[in-house]
Amino acid sequence: RTIGDRIGEAKASGNLGNTLKILGQFDEAVVCCQRHLDISREQGDKVGEARALYNIGNVYHAKGKHLSWNTAQDPGYLPQEVKDTLQKASEYYERNLSLVKELGDRAAQGRAYGNLGNTQYLLGNFSEAIAFHKERLAIAKEFGDKAAERRAYSNLGNAHIFLGRFDVSADYYKKTLQLSRQLKDQAVEAQACYSLGNTCTLLQDYEKAIEYHLRHLVIAQELGDR
């Protein structure tokens, strides 16, 4: 501010916003991220504007998740305050998405699609969540981003469960399992086995369910995860 560097001030405000978000000071975080957004617009900095929109989305997303922890309900059954907060997150992600499309930034589009999928899932809009996660998946494959691909499969599996499409969920969870083994991520492998065990139970394939739950148990013991 002293040297009149507006872009520098915008970036610093954005960093402050992200830090306050991590500290759980969501309202202060929004103020800082909004300053990042306002200055970026004033300076005609489209990249900064896109980043600020994404960051504000993240703050509302984090606040929504934080508020919903106290309710511990299924997606879609949320108090109005939580719904409103997640709806705001979704709106900012949408605005970010349209701007990064304009900028031709595919990686940023992938991030926006993933977060839109997650917010719609929490809001109980499972079909919308699936559409967004499929877009996320396509971009992850485009970049060869195996970790993002794995997350997309997992999220697609979760959303299909709530639509009662257990067989489709099982297919997605199997892909999650395959990739977690490729990535040598045992914690995620255990999680995939747990999801597959539950899905096989819903499909009444109890032998398979037991197999997956035993695998989950073995990994949990290996990791010393009580």
- For residue 218, give the CATH number of its domain: 1.25.40.10
Question: What pLDDT was estimated at residue 99?
Answer: 98
- Do 124 and 47 belong to one domain? yes
Question: What pLDDT was estimated at residue 2?
Answer: 94
- Within 8 A by CB and 6+ apart from 50, the residues are 96, 99, 100, 103, 105, 108
In order of 154, 158, 179, 218, the CA distances from 213 in angstroms are: 17, 17, 18, 9
Q: Work out the number of other CB atoms within 10 angstroms of the CB of residue 83.
A: 18
Q: What would the two tokens of residue 223 be?
A: 């990791």
Nearest to 88 by CA among 45, 121, 53, 114: 53
CA–CA separation, 126 and 104 (whole Å)? 27
Q: What is the DSSP string of 123-154?
A: TT-HHHHHHHHHHHHHHHHHHT-HHHHHHHHH
- Do 131 and 161 belong to one domain? no
- Do 199 and 130 belong to one domain? no
| Range of the structural domain that residue 45 is part of | 1-144
* Domain-ending residue, one of 120, 144, 168: 144
Question: What pLDDT was estimated at residue 176?
Answer: 97
Q: What would the two tokens of residue 226 be?
A: 């009580």
Q: What is Dmax (Cα atoms) for the chain?
A: 69
* Regions of the chain short of the pLDDT cut 50: none
Mean pLDDT over each residue of the chain, to the nearest integer: 96
Predicted TM-score (pTM) of the model is 0.92
Where does the chain have alpha helices with state H?
A: 6-22, 26-42, 46-69, 80-103, 106-122, 126-143, 146-162, 166-182, 186-202, 206-222
- Do 76 and 150 belong to one domain? no
- Do 65 and 152 belong to one domain? no
pLDDT in tens, 23-54: 999 999 999 999 999 999 999 999 999 999 99
Q: Work out the number of other CB atoms within 10 angstroms of the CB of residue 210.
A: 13
> CB–CB of 39/1 below 8 Å?
no
CA–CA separation, 80 and 77 (whole Å)? 9
CA–CA separation, 41 and 21 (whole Å)? 22
Direct distance between the N- and C-terminal alpha carbons of the chain, in angstroms, rounded to an integer: 51
The number of folded domains in the chain is 2
Question: What pLDDT was estimated at residue 72?
Answer: 65
* Domain-ending residue, one of 144, 179, 200: 144
CA–CA separation, 207 and 84 (whole Å)? 43
> CB–CB of 14/55 below 8 Å?
yes
